[in-house]
Amino acid sequence: MQATTAFASEMTWPAYDAAVKNGTTPILIPLGSMEQHGHHMPLHVDVLLPTEFARRAAIEVGGLVAPAFTYGYKSHQKSGGGNHLPGTTSLDGATLVAALRDVIKEFARHGVRKICLVNGHFENSWFIIEAIDLALRELRWDGVTDVKIVVLSYWDFVGPEALAQLYPNGFPGWELEHGGVLETSLMLALHPALVHLHAAVDVAPATFPPYDVYPVKPDWTPPSGTLSSPKEASAEKGQILLQVCTAGIVKALVAEFG
């Protein structure tokens, strides 16, 4: 049955049941966070972006997008500025693992056999894997052995050609792309009313020692909260990212789900 919406939560239960009960419809689950993204962007950037990539990919492959995880694992200082910053609201790892494990098992109970987890918050990564491992193990105990799960982060589909267009003066590295050119450009392309580029702080790429300290040292994080400058961001660069990442995600889903 062809759904009239890409979002599972907008469907009636009979329409949803008809779409997923035979196991052929992929479910895409965006995973984000509530995390500061500098002076120029809102706290739910990491929710908005994977949700939009999931929506675009779902339309292409005949899938459905599940409600996003709006809280994620704790912000790491070297990739998100740190969990000490105002606005950042995080889950313990065990909480995230347990919630995602339960959601995966519930979709399997509905009949879903193809699941894609679309991550938009770097720090979620290992907890996603743990949740999958536990969910698949418990499903096997119930005799369900045919669930397949794809895990991806949209930025992993940005290749050298796109990087050259996005960062003509040199790429600072993914670990410093927090509130920088990539996320800001995507937000300018998708949600320009939520971006206040005039308020963006032009900072040099953050530098960190090759070790971590806990409790964190707040002075290691640039006061703006961003780890590199967003000043070179543009909606045009956002369109490049939308095309490249969506195409990559769709290609991956076709390869794995058929």
Tokens (6 digits) for 161: 């050609």
Q: Which of 197, 67, 47, 72 is nearest to 126 (CA)?
A: 72
Q: Which of 40, 44, 46, 52 is catalytic?
A: 46
Q: Which of 40, 52, 121, 177 is catalytic?
A: 121
Active site residue 110: no
Tokens (6 digits) for 38: 């500098």
CA 181 to chain centre: 16
**DSSP β-ladder status, 64-65 and 114-119:** unpaired
Active site residue 17: no
Active site residue 191: no
Phi, psi of 91 (to 5 degrees): -105, 150
Q: Which of 40, 52, 177, 183 is catalytic?
A: 183
Q: Which of 40, 44, 52, 123 is catalytic?
A: 123
Active site residue 123: yes
Q: Which of 69, 162, 175, 61 is nearest to 119 (CA)?
A: 69
Active site residue 37: yes
Q: Which of 35, 40, 44, 177 is catalytic?
A: 35
Q: Which of 60, 178, 191, 196 is catalytic?
A: 178
Active site residue 46: yes
Check whether the bond before 205 is cis (ω within 30° of 0).
no
CA 197 to chain centre: 22
**CB atoms closer than 10 angstroms to residue 149:** 22
Q: Which of 17, 37, 84, 142 is catalytic?
A: 37
The catalytic site residues sit at 35, 37, 46, 121, 123, 178, 183
